Structure 1
Amino acid sequence: MLLDDIPIRRRTSQTPPPDNEGGRVRLMLLGFGVILTFIVLGIRLFDLQVNRQALFSAQVERRSIIERALPATRGLIYDRNGELLVRNAPAYQIAIIPIQQVRYKDDPIRQRVERMAMYNKLAAMINQPGVTAGEIYTKVVSQNALIAPYQPTVIADNVPREVALAIQEQSLIMRGVVVQTVGSREYPYKELLGNILGYTGKIFREMIEREPEKFSREIYDYDNDRVGITGVERAVEEKLRGRKGKRTVLVDASFEELQVLSETPPVNGNSVRLTIDLRLQQIISDVLISAMKERGAPRGAVVALNPNTGEILAMMSAPSYDNNWFAQGISQQRYEALANDPHKPLLNHATQDRVPPGSTFKIVTAAALLQEGAVNERTLVFDPGIFILPDQYDPTNPDKGQKFYCWKRTGHGFQNIRDALRNSCDTYFYKTVGGFADGKENIPGMGPDKLAQWAQEFGIGETTELNIDYSVGIAPTKNWKLRNIGEVWSTGDSYNAAIGQGYVLATPLEMANVTAAIANGGTLYHPQIVKDVLNERGEVIQPFTPKVKRQIRLDPYYIQLIQDALWRVVNEPGGTAWGSRLEGFEYAGKTGTAEFCDDVAYQTGICYTGIQVLPTHAWFVSYAPAQNPQIAMAVYVWNGGQGSGVAAPITQRIYNRYFNIGVPEDKLAPIQQGDSE
């Protein structure tokens, strides 16, 4: 490129010189601004360091005195032999101390944005249903949190340990977030004891509304404390919970603890020893569940009592549930599965299933007949197998009569009361309770109301002092039917009631207690499940005391007669449980096969309108050894078939193991549907 090609601007007389004066003015203004800024900063600094020094010093030195609760350790639960059934275990909670969160007094928008960012991060780390940023915010700004902003507000329970540790590691950058541990429970035996022990959990609003004094804030911290919700945990809550202590402390403006001013230590809860024998419970569970699987039966229960004290030695309910699911926080999906199961795993079927007891109820009927003088031991009743109850308005017309059947369609012939119990002869009890007259026999019948009185005498339909959930049976009378069904009692109703059918209902616990009263000679006890209360040193501070409900008003001779008949059921050829006897070991019992058609049967299709042969529950009640009873037991299998073919073999297997009889399993009675009671 040539220099001649580059344009050159030359000053001319018309071009003005540079404005040097304007530049100096701008520099002066800039310097003045800098000086002014430093002056303002200096004034502000002087104000903060000198004028407001006293104010800030006061804020830093401001102190408060607060009280902090010291939790008590919950007592333990043991079986009768000292085996530990429940352990204390830590549960992790994530909480926020409202006053320690990030704060921008002059910039609430920034404060809200940063807090919500932290809540979102927390929710993602916790990853529990219902724990969202919005839910966390709601809890943190709740009324309780505003009243006590220095107290932790729980935002998540039962957080896995690894998650809790991860959150704790980031607590320095997530201001106000704390990880705390609370007492929880661990149940090592799961379904085996689920319905007995129950579980602990946080207090429900309904519990507070129902029993405000028992669950007052003076006793419980609703956010942190765990209480017994069901089972033994709830029944002995006051004994297990202990008493909290308290610590009075001096804290600074950020509520950091500076000094302990006073302290009242907590009093740990007492422990309880149950009447349950864990070994027997395990034997019963193994036998019952195995038999139910063979039969395809979805539900069953076994109750074993000490007939001499009323202690519940074992109480198995199937299906059951793992109580750890609740103690550790059950998922909605799992809870709905339990709640929607038609066979109700959350119910204790041993104490809450009210079902027809079938022929096991004949023990009550026999006692009533004898003591009321309706029969004696020599009274004979003819059983043809099938007979017609004449129509009361046209007794000579057999077409209008109603047919009744003994379970043995060919009949038992003439029966006395011992025979009737051994053979479980339905006809004997039909006629002697409801009456019968056909020209050959003229039996007036005891009547249903006296039978109902004796059912209540044996505890059926009556409340007990058992402190876990239970139901009571029904001992129906003529008035009961009129009030509840709106119909007049019929002779057929009396026939059904006599053999534990119709409107008669009982629980397995009630039938076990009936059997225990016969076994011990006539004493009806209140069943109990808590044996002793122990202090921290293991010393008994509340010993077990049997609670007698009443002496059954049954002549001792008649008790011995019934005992003899129940012995014959198992140990005499022709007895309905003869096939389930144990060589070298004698026990006594009564079979039962109870027809039913309940709501679940309709839902599952095993019963329907117009069905000819109803499904049956399998029952067997017994006591052992026969001559020196140590245990009285009721076995019940829902839709299990025949008592002699299912419930009696279950009992045989339980006694064989419990008493170490040693009969090989392949020599025991098979689980099957028998041809008899």
Structure 2
Amino acid sequence: MRGKKGRFGYLSGLSRLMPRRTNEWFDPSLIWLRGEATLSEEEEARPTFWAGRIIMLVLGLLLLWRLTNLQIIQGNAHLFMAEGNRVRRQVTLAPRGLIVDRNGVPLATNEPGYALSIVMSELPGNRSQRARVLANVADSQHLPVEELQKKMNKSLVTAYDPIIIQPNLSREQALLYQIRFAAAPGVHVSYMPKRRYNTTLGLSHILGYTADMTEKDRANHPDYYKVSPIGRSGVEASYDHVLRGKEGASEIEIDAVGRPQRVLSETASKVGDTLRLTLDMGLEQETASALLESMQKSGAKHAAAVAMDPKTGGILASVSLPHYDNNVFSGGITSDDYKRLVNDSNRPLLNRTVDGQYSPGSTFKPFVAAAALQEGTISDKTLVDTSVGVIEIGQWRFPDWKTHGLTDVRRAIAESNNIFFYSIGGGWEKVPGLGSERIKKYAHIFGLGQSTGLDYESDASGLIPDPDWKKKIKKETWYIGDTYHMAIGQGDVLATPLQMARGISAIANGGRLLTPHIAAATESPDTSVVTPLTFPESIIPVSPQVLAVIREGMRQTVAADYGSAKALRSLPFSSAGKTGTAQFGTEDKTHAWYVGFAPYENPEIVVAIVVEGAGGGSTYSVPVASRMLSYYMSHR
């Protein structure tokens, strides 16, 4: 039944039955105000009448309290919420600091970049309006709306942070999107600086790259802005705290539909500090070129070389081939491209200078010689008859590459005499051997078999085996042959090029075991504040006299007619070193090694080079060393 129409609409049938004055909307409070005029004395006497009055009084007081609470007590809170609804906080990403070489040559810089993003909390509350905005964004990406929603749902950011929909926009794309989405609440074109890396061969492993933060990153760095990039590998990761800038922010007043009206406040972003490396770009380029030449001549597919300052531990050059282009990461690499890199049989992501573990072959012999001299099992005048050319123990034969005759330790190093090192390592005839435990002890003293403490990534520890290791890992007994192989850097001995450079540096500098590092100093963006970086070092328990003998043997390697690296004596400066031809696998393949330093009298540079599977060190690694040392000595 339709009611009679009053001031506020139609009254229901029930409301027309209730007591009211003519032409007035019914107000329940009138029961109290006009009670005596409408109720009989008999009704007043009823107990329920007073109960009703009490209930109405209590309800009235509660209503009065609620109104007071809303208007006075919570007034400021609601005002704050209203302010929050009309003010948008917009964060400006900070450019990362530059990375430069020792001479200031830029290695990692920033270039302008833009991204299309969505902030969930700013999307329209109205369902149909929200759907129209998302449909517009999906259309711009040539995606179904459902795919866009999935992408948004996978995002790890909060509703108040931007979800990156399309990164790496060109300036032209950014302008077109700004026009297209000018009236779309929650859709933004954000400024996102893009990292740009120098593409010189070998730099990618050193510099690394940046990537979006993961959930673990956010948990570890709760103070980092959630959509800012973070260093993922190399220098970018290890020195992220230096390179990371400080984000800026703006408070922007918006209208009811989310359109910006005016800037209320603004704090500019601050660029990160500059990181100056110990690296010399010229030497880096020369090293890469020399390695490529050697690989082409030998047919090798992989190689690595490192140069180090024996006075400081600073890395002057480091090249691992093949390499990869880290610029593909700065733009956000696709999962397919990343899988291709990971599954590439040539392993371009592997930094062979610090993670490549190889049998060092004869480049290990200087450390064994130092151990024998320091332990007193031989002196620098001890002569060993190595004319037999092979040691036979039962059915096992341990050959040399040629016969040598009576040999002292210096000549044994220079000629790379296997019989001599079998003898001082495992013992033979009248020569007492060091044994595996003492060889291992001195290998550790020179930094092998353990991490170097490198500053820009975790490096491989290599391996110095012993009887316990063989029993545990191989389930086999240790034999004298294992010690013989160990003494010439074969068998299960493994080392990285960086470990070898560090150990040879300790010989070259007179006994200081340094921490290899790539960073030299941090600098404020305007270079007004420069902070040099320092790294620990230790003195090895090997006498200066012993180290001098080893250096003399390495000098003969280059200077003597019988030296295995005599090709280097034509250089216009003095040097010293040790070649290595290290067997690996089961097909008699060999890695070509060379380790050395220059100038001999006052060493400034140490090099360690390995060309995988190339053959002899004299043929394929010594020429690389020649180019590296020559460049450095002519450009220092």
Q: What is the rounded CA distance, in whole Å, between the counterparts of 1:560 and 1:132 in structure 2?
A: 74
In the aligned structure 1, how far is the partner of 2:590 from the partner of 2:154? 56
Q: Which runs of 5+ in 2 are unaligned?
A: 1-8, 10-78
Q: Which piece of structure 1 moves more, 330-339 or 371-380?
A: 330-339
What number of residue pairs does the alignment pair up?
556
Alpha-carbon distance in structure 1 between the residues aligned to 2:318 and 2:117: 40
Equivalent residue number for residue 430 of structure 1:
422
SS of corresponding position for 1:557 = helix
Identity of aligned residues (%): 35
Quickly say closer, same or farther: Cα 1:352–1:61, change in 2 above 3 A: closer
Structure 2 residue aligned with 1:122: 140
Distance of aligned partners of 1:509 and 1:480 in 2 relative to their CA distance in 1, 3 Å threshold: same
Match of 1:134 in 2: 146
Alignment match, 2:467: 478
**2:508 corresponds to:** 519
Alignment partner, residue 563 of structure 1: 551
Match of 2:110 among 85, 88, 91: 88
Gap change, CA 1:461 and 1:193, over 3 Å in 2: same
Q: 2:6 aligns to what?
A: none
- Aligned equivalent of 1:219, options 199, 224, 231: 224
Q: Deviations over 1:518-556 (max 9, x none)?
A: 1111111111111011012203442133531x2121121
Distance 1:176 1:248, change over 3 A: closer
Report the 3-state secondary structure (helix = DSSP H, G, I; strand = E; otherwise coil) of the residue aligned with 1:589: strand
* Residue from 172, 194, 204 that aligns with 1:194: 204
Change (3 A) 1:133 1:295: farther
The separation in 1 between residues aligned to 2:102 and 2:361, in whole angstroms, is 33
* Equivalent residue, structure 2, for 1:642: 616
In 2, Cα distance between the equivalents of 1:627 and 1:143?
Answer: 60
Measure the CA separation in 2 of the matches of 1:448 and 1:144: 53
- Pairing partner for 1:357 from 360, 366, 369: 360
CA contact (8 A) 1:278 1:314 kept: yes
Q: Mapping of 1:15-94 within 5 angstroms?
A: 64-94=86-116
Q: Which residue of 1 aligns with 2:605?
A: 631
1:637 and 1:510 map into 2 onto residues whose CA distance is 16
Q: Which residue of 2 aligns with 1:577?
A: 565
**AA aligned opposite 2:556:** R
Q: Which amino acid aligns with 1:654?
A: M
Q: 1:551 to 1:60 in 2, by over 3 A?
A: closer
For residues 622 and 345 of structure 1, what CA distance do their matches in structure 2 show?
27
Aligned counterparts, 1:466-545, within 5 A: 466-469=454-457, 470-545=459-534
**2:401 corresponds to:** 407
CA distance in 2, matches of 1:144, 1:271: 30
Say if 1:656 and 1:89 are closer, same or farther in 2 by CA, change over 3 A. Answer: same
CA contact (8 A) 1:532 1:540 kept: no
TM-score normalised by the chain length of structure 1: 0.77
Instruction: Show the counterpart of 1:330.
Output: 333
The C-alpha deviation readout for 1:15-74, integer Å capped at 9, x for no partner, is xxxxxxxxxxxxxxxxxxxxxxxxx9xxxxxxxxxxxxxxxxx99999534543343221
Aligned residues of 2:121 and 2:159 also touching (Cα < 8 A): no
Mark the CA change 1:511 to 1:62 in structure 2 (over 3 Å): closer, same or farther.
Answer: closer
1:52 paired residue number:
none
1 CA distance for matches of 2:451 and 2:425?
A: 26
Q: 1:443 aligns to what SS in structure 2?
A: coil
Relative to structure 1, the CA distance from residue 196 to residue 132 in structure 2 (aligned partners, 3 Å threshold; closer, same or farther) is farther
Q: Which range moved further: 186-195 or 312-321?
A: 186-195
Query: Would the aligned equivalents of 1:119 and 1:137 in 2 still touch at CA under 8 Å?
Result: no
Specify the code of the residue in structure 1 equivalent to 2:355: Q
Cα drift, residue 339 of structure 1: 1.1
Please name the residue that 1:587 is paired with: 575
Contact residue 139 and residue 145 of structure 1 kept, 8 A: no
In structure 2, do the counterparts of structure 1 residues 520 and 359 end up closer, same or farther at CA, with 3 Å as the change threshold?
same
Question: 8 Å contact 1:93–1:159 — kept in the other structure?
Answer: yes
Post-superposition offset of 1:85: 1.1
Measured at CA, do residues 652 and 145 of structure 1 come closer, stay the same or move farther in structure 2, by a change above 3 Å? closer
Secondary structure of the structure 2 residue equivalent to 1:487:
coil
Contact 1:62/1:252 (8 A) holds in 2: no
Q: CA deviation at 1:255?
A: 3.6
CA contact (8 A) 2:249 2:268 kept: yes
Deviation at 1:82, TM superposition (A): 1.1
Check whether the contact 2:120–2:159 (CA below 8 A) recurs between aligned residues: no
Decide whether aligned partners of structure 1 residues 247 and 643 sit closer, same or farther in structure 2, where only a CA change above 3 A counts.
same
8 Å contact kept, 2:592–2:612: yes
Alignment CA distance shift 1:554-1:63 (3 Å): closer
